[in-house]
């Protein structure tokens, strides 16, 4: 026990001091054990024999009540409260007035701080405020190990310690093991209290002004537009200007907290208060408040916050990441990303995929369960996160990481090998891209060019609409980086699951079937023409290939193509160079076109099959909804027959055709595509190596013969049969 005495003495001194400053006869600290019990850790005024003896079960007594509510409890006569639970060992019968506040850390209640008086005194709002601030400092000191040693805190739920496995959604493929870095780092204990209230008040007011101005400006860009994002911004504005929020923050600063600590304090209260709400509306408001708090902290840090120095093997942990935030981190050290929210179309997911960083999202309660520096695993193969994993899990994952690295090395060796099938058919393997960071990997992949450049990504990762000059700059960079390899630029594919806060359409019941892609481009020709102008300027007399997304009728293609001709004429009138060669193509994503290819193909220079959308529309299954998106198999007779019809029509009219949906990057699916006769595949960068390995081991004639019979199968899926065929032919899938 010798080692514990000084710490216990320290804690006793703390409660004595608090009792003195609050003019209370009793001051007690309860901390939460891992089993949920609240244990008396120190007291001034109650029987010292009760320390480490009195334990309240979860929900028991007034302490349990505070714990449950995460809010202060102020009573003039504690024993008459229905939740009061009498503990004879504490000797507390003569005390009536009771004030207890939660010890909050990151929205979790780690303990309770209580003061009591004999008289039926009523504690004032100032008393409550004071005790909350003391509780905040105390919580940080306990967590920082300033008051109790690690040994004493063993089994105390100060910070989450147990191994946990959280199930989420795979947002960017891969596997990583590293240390957690919190994107929204908690304010350090040393930065909680200020001795210059006016200076802090000034900092806070300046930051709030900056935040309000920022939100007002964001809203101004939205004039005349209605939609969910506009609503969200309106809510932000309301909250940012809300007097109660401002007052709570100012009050906290007036009570001696730094501006950052004030933000955290108000945030903690909101989290604890609203966090338990079932009402989805309230939870949504909490979400908005969280975002506002983060924004306010960034304003306090100064807008141009420098990139954080990351440890080796950093795994970034965040609620969500805004436009471009991920790009601010050092890519060489950032190994993975865990998000509490996020969807596959969210900025963070898009950028993570472009940076080839594994990412798992939709991990409920993530931030409250991770401490800075915790070992964590991002398993984006299964869509899971392991927090503080056990050694056997680490060993298993490390082995899997090793296998992946070996496979990568093997694919890297194939980089320079052209992709010919065993029977001598050349298969052109291209890469999908969308951001400047993608281009860094182009040479590494061995892809022969970019078969799909998703131009909307630039729009999706920007805070506001990229200007024409910014568009030109990016496209020129892409052409430069491609270094003579072909690039197919796809015009803006916005709408559907790709929403922009600054360019929002009306709320739609069925966005995937709504005003999106080329439909939007044709209705808003200024947007599309600006982009075409930027593309023509960027290629500056070199070849240009451009294609339009989600064309559903020949008229749409005709109209879109006419805009390209118009922009080229416009450039030439100004003496600017026209592209040395122009190819205009359509994406085949709407099933309608399959039965009008005879009309469409003669108008196009090439087509590319967007199987992600084509499958969603063929099977009437939302690609973004995990419940239905994997319900139907592209390796099924209807899907394969649709693909065969497209391939045959293209062969008949001599139109070059590629497949650029995700399936082109999966070896087994790519095997089927080659069997159907496709010879141009564009895929995510990580698919190029595995698909090339498959191609090199594949006899295309045999694949075609084997596949032909399967297309007449009466099964819903022929995946198993195709797998068996690949095995029989010894194809590396
Ligand atoms: C597709 O739909 O298959 C496609 C490649 O386009 P995106 O995934 O960008 O919609
Ligand atoms: Mg598509």
Q: What is the DSSP string of 169-196?
A: EEEE--EEEEEEEESSPPPPGGGSB-S-
Is the model more confident about 151 or about 334? Answer: 334
Residue 496 CA: nearest ligand 1 atom is 10
Q: Which ligand is nearest to the CA of 684?
A: 1
HEC letters along 438-506: HHHHHHHHCCCCEEEEECHHHHHCCCCCCCHHHHHHHHHHHHHHHCCCCEEEECCCCECCECECCECCC
> What pLDDT shows up at residue 187?
62
- Model confidence band, residue 679 (pLDDT cutoffs 50, 70, 90): very high
Which range of 147-161, 321-335, 617-631 scores highest in mean pLDDT? It is: 617-631
* SS3 state at 26: strand
Is the model more confident about 292 or about 414? Answer: 414
* Ligand 1 residue neighbourhood (C-beta within 6 Å): 452, 454, 493, 589, 610-613, 660-661
Residue 610 CA: nearest ligand 1 atom is 3
Topology given in CATH for the domain delimited by 164-185+308-404: Glucose Oxidase; domain 1 (3.50.30)
Is 223's pLDDT higher than 50?
no
Digit-coded pLDDT (tens) for 162-185: 899 999 999 999 999 999 998 876
Pocket test for ligand 1, best of 493, 511, 622, 658 (most atoms within 8 A of CB): 493
Is the model more confident about 344 or about 583? Answer: 583
**583 CA to centre of ligand 2 in angstroms:** 19
Closest C-alpha to 663, from 432, 456, 407: 432
Digit-coded pLDDT (tens) for 478-536: 999 999 999 999 999 998 767 776 776 677 888 889 999 999 999 989 999 999 999 99
> What pLDDT shows up at residue 281?
66
Give the separation between CA 503 and CA 178, rounded to whole angstroms: 38
Residue 609 CA: nearest ligand 1 atom is 3
**431 CA to centre of ligand 1 in angstroms:** 13
The whole-number average pLDDT for the span 119-147 is 85
Digit-coded pLDDT (tens) for 50-102: 999 999 998 899 999 998 888 899 999 999 999 998 888 888 778 999 999 99
> What pLDDT shows up at residue 186?
62
Residue 616 CA: nearest ligand 1 atom is 2
Token pair listed for 714? 């009466």
On whether the 7-144 domain is CATH 3.30.450.40, my answer is yes
> What pLDDT shows up at residue 564?
98
Q: What is the side-by-side order of every strand in the sheet holding 26-32? A: 55-56, 38-44, 26-32, 108-117, 97-105, 73-75
- Model confidence band, residue 227 (pLDDT cutoffs 50, 70, 90): very low
**722 CA to centre of ligand 1 in angstroms:** 24
Digit-coded pLDDT (tens) for 597-612: 999 999 999 999 999 9
- Model confidence band, residue 306 (pLDDT cutoffs 50, 70, 90): very low
Strand partners, 581: none
Q: Give me the CATH code for the 197-301 domain, please.
A: 1.10.274.10
Nearest Cα residue to atom 3 of ligand 1? 610
Residue 452 CA: nearest ligand 1 atom is 5
Q: Residue 58: which residues within 8 A CB-CB, separation 6 or more?
A: 36, 37, 38, 64, 67, 68
Pocket test for ligand 1, best of 591, 593, 612 (most atoms within 8 A of CB): 612
The whole-number average pLDDT for the span 345-356 is 80
- Known catalytic residues are 347, 660
- Model confidence band, residue 230 (pLDDT cutoffs 50, 70, 90): low
Token pair listed for 207? 């930051």
For 132-257, list the strands marked E by DSSP.
164-167, 169-172, 175-182
Q: Which ligand is nearest to the CA of 659?
A: 1
The whole-number average pLDDT for the span 584-588 is 98
Is 666's pLDDT higher than 80?
yes
> What pLDDT shows up at residue 716?
95
For a pLDDT cut of 70, what percent of the chain falls above it? 92
**613 CA to centre of ligand 1 in angstroms:** 6
Is 307's pLDDT higher than 60?
no
> What pLDDT shows up at residue 283?
64
The whole-number average pLDDT for the span 468-482 is 95
- Model confidence band, residue 222 (pLDDT cutoffs 50, 70, 90): very low
* SS3 state at 620: coil
Give the separation between CA 114 and CA 347, rounded to whole angstroms: 45
Token pair listed for 701? 């004639």
The reported pTM is 0.70
> What pLDDT shows up at residue 504?
62
What residue has token string 């087509």?
Answer: 607
Q: What are the CA-CA distances from residue 31 to residues 52, 95, 113, 192, 489 (Å)?
A: 10, 21, 9, 21, 59
Q: Cα angle at 340 between 264 and 140, to 5 degrees?
A: 30
Q: Which ligand is nearest to the CA of 353?
A: 1
Give the separation between CA 438 and CA 450, rounded to whole angstroms: 10
Q: Cα angle at 642 between 640 and 643, to 5 degrees?
A: 65
Residue 25 per-residue DSSP state: S
Closest C-alpha to 101, from 60, 73, 136: 73
> What pLDDT shows up at residue 151?
77
**613 CA to centre of ligand 2 in angstroms:** 5
Instruction: Work out the end-to-end distance of the chain between its first and last CA atoms, rounded to an integer number of angstroms.
Output: 62
Q: Strands 73-75 and 657-659, how do they pair?
A: unpaired
**622 CA to centre of ligand 1 in angstroms:** 13
- Give residue limits of the domains in the chain: 7-144, 164-185+308-404, 197-301
Closest C-alpha to 404, from 686, 172, 684, 694: 686
CB atoms within 10 A of CB 331: 14
Give the separation between CA 89 and CA 50, rounded to whole angstroms: 6
Give the separation between CA 538 and CA 521, rounded to whole angstroms: 20
> What pLDDT shows up at residue 189?
54
Is 337's pLDDT higher than 50?
yes
Q: Which ligand is nearest to the CA of 662?
A: 1
Pocket test for ligand 1, best of 453, 660, 666, 673 (most atoms within 8 A of CB): 660
Per-chain mean pLDDT for the chain? 88
Digit-coded pLDDT (tens) for 551-581: 999 999 999 999 999 999 999 999 999 999 9
Is 225's pLDDT higher than 50?
no
Closest C-alpha to 524, from 225, 726, 197, 262: 225
Pocket test for ligand 1, best of 345, 434, 452 (most atoms within 8 A of CB): 452
Residue 60 per-residue DSSP state: -
Is the model more confident about 244 or about 455? Answer: 455
Q: Are 611 and 662 in contact (CB under 8 A)?
A: yes
Residue 256 per-residue DSSP state: T
**315 CA to centre of ligand 1 in angstroms:** 29
Nearest Cα residue to atom 8 of ligand 1? 612
For the ranges 273-287, 483-497, 625-639, which has the lowest average pLDDT?
273-287
**Which secondary structure element, helix H or strand E, spans residue 288, and what is its range?**
helix 280-300
Widest Cα–Cα separation across the chain: 96
CB atoms within 10 A of CB 288: 16
Nearest Cα residue to atom 9 of ligand 1? 454
């Amino acid at each position: 026990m010798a080692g514990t005495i000084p710490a216990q003495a320290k804690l006793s001194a703390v409660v004595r001091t608090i009792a003195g400053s609050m003019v209370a006869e009793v001051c007690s600290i309860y901390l939460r054990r891992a089993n949920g019990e609240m244990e008396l850790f120190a007291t001034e005024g109650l029987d010292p024999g009760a320390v480490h003896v009195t334990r309240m079960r979860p929900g028991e007594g007034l302490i349990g009540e505070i714990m449950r509510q995460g809010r202060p409890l102020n009573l003039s006569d504690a024993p008459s409260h229905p939740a009061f639970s009498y503990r004879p060992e504490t000797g507390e019968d003569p005390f009536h007035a009771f004030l207890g506040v939660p010890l909050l850390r990151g929205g979790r209640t780690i303990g309770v701080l209580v003061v009591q008086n004999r008289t039926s005194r009523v504690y004032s709002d100032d008393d409550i405020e004071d005790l909350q601030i003391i509780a905040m400092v105390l919580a940080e000191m306990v967590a920082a190990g300033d008051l109790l040693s690690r040994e004493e805190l063993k089994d105390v739920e100060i910070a989450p310690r147990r191994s946990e496995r959280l199930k989420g959604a795979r947002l960017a493929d891969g596997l990583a093991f590293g240390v957690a870095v919190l994107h929204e780092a908690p304010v350090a204990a040393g930065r909680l209290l200020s001795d210059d209230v006016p200076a802090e008040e000034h900092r806070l007011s300046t930051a709030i002004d900056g935040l309000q101005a920022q939100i007002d400006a964001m809203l101004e860009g939205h004039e005349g537009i209605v939609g969910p994002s506009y609503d969200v911004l309106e809510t932000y504005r309301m909250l940012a200007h809300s007097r109660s929020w401002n007052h709570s923050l100012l009050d906290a600063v007036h009570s001696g907290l730094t501006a950052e600590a004030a933000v955290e304090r108000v945030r903690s209260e909101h989290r604890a208060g609203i966090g338990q709400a079932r009402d989805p509306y309230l939870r949504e408001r909490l979400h908005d408040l969280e975002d506002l708090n983060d924004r306010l902290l960034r304003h306090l840090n100064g807008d141009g916050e420098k990139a954080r120095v990351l440890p080796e093997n950093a795994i970034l942990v965040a609620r969500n990441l805004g436009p471009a935030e991920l790009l601010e981190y050092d890519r060489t050290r950032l190994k993975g990303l865990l998000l509490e929210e996020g969807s596959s179309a969210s900025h963070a997911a898009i950028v993570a995929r472009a940076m080839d960083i594994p990412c798992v999202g939709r991990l409920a309660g993530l931030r409250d369960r991770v401490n800075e520096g915790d070992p964590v695993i991002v398993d984006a193969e299964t869509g899971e996160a392991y927090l503080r994993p056990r050694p056997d899990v680490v060993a298993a994952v490390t082995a899997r990481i090793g296998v992946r690295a070996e496979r990568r090395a093997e694919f890297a060796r194939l980089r320079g090998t052209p992709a010919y099938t065993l029977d001598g058919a050349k298969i052109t393997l291209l890469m999908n891209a969308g951001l400047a960071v993608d281009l860094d990997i182009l040479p590494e992949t061995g892809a022969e060019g970019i078969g799909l450049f998703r131009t909307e990504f630039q729009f999706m990762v920007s805070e506001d609409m990229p200007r024409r000059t910014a568009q030109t700059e990016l496209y020129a960079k892409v052409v430069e980086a491609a270094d003579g390899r072909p690039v197919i630029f796809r015009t803006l594919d916005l709408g559907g699951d790709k929403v922009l806060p600054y360019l929002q359409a009306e709320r739609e019941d069925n966005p995937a079937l709504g005003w999106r892609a080329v439909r939007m481009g044709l209705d808003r020709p200024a947007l599309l023409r600006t982009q075409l102008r930027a593309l023509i300027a960027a290629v500056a007399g070199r070849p240009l290939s451009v294609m339009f997304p989600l064309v559903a009728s020949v008229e749409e293609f005709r109209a879109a193509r006419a805009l390209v001709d118009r922009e080229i004429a416009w450039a030439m009138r100004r003496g600017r160079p026209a592209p040395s060669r122009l190819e205009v193509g359509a994406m085949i994503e709407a099933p309608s076109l399959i039965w009008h290819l005879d009309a469409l193909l003669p108008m196009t220079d090439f087509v590319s099959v967007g199987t992600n959308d084509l499958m969603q529309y063929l099977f009437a299954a939302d690609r973004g909804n995990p419940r239905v998106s994997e319900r139907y198999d592209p390796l099924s007779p209807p899907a394969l027959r649709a693909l065969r019809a497209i391939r045959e029509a293209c062969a008949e009219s001599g139109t070059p055709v590629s497949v650029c949906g995700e399936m082109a990057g999966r070896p087994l699916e790519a095997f089927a595509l080659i069997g159907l006769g496709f010879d141009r595949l564009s895929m995510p960068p990580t698919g190029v190596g595995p698909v090339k390995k498959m191609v090199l081991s594949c006899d295309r004639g045999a694949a075609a013969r084997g596949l032909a019979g399967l297309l007449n199968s009466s099964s819903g899926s022929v995946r198993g049969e195709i797998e068996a065929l690949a095995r029989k032919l010894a194809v590396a899938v």
